[in-house]
Amino acid sequence: MRKIFTLAITSLCIGLLATVSPAFAEVEIESLWLRESIPGQPNGAGFGVLRNSGDQDVLLVAASSPIAGDIEIHQHVREGEQMRMEQMEALVVPAGETVSLQPGGYHLMLIGLTAPLVIGEYHDVTLIFSDGNEITIRTPVKALVRN
């Protein structure tokens, strides 16, 4: 009886492990960078590319960094002739696809900077996914280049 119970528990654990795939094993973060601070502005922005090589959608639900009091996920929304930023609860990175964080689109909004973001410096940024997995990236500060 004890062998059957042990076998049943072992099978259950293996089954659970097989159904829970870690998001960080499926998501690659490419070229993440922070925009240099605009003088007098207490907030900043982060950009880059999230690539999901897995077969299930992944949700980016939060981010954090010691350089900011908070980081929100934002998107730009057009209302008539005006553009405004809107906070998002989560950003879906579809299976097998990439999502770009870029000026005028999806981006990370760093709120309450503890110091200005200076070109050439690096800051840790942690991306947090819906399953609790976290990826920390040493992120450079760059100039915002306009086309």
Q: Per-residue confidence of the chain (147 residues) as pLDDT tens digits? A: 444 433 343 343 433 333 334 444 588 999 999 999 999 899 999 999 999 998 999 999 999 999 999 999 999 887 788 878 899 999 999 999 999 999 989 999 999 999 999 999 999 999 999 878 899 999 999 997 764
Q: Please, where are the H alpha helices in the chain?
A: 2-19, 23-26
Q: What is the pLDDT of residue 23?
A: 42
Q: pLDDT tens for residues 104-137?
A: 899 999 999 999 999 999 999 999 998 788 999 9
- Rounded Cα distance, 91 and 94, in Å: 9
Please name each of the domains of the chain with its CATH number. Answer: 22-142 (2.60.40.1890)
Please, are residues 125 and 34 in contact by the beta-carbon 8 Å criterion?
Answer: yes
The share of the chain scoring above pLDDT 90, in percent, equals 65
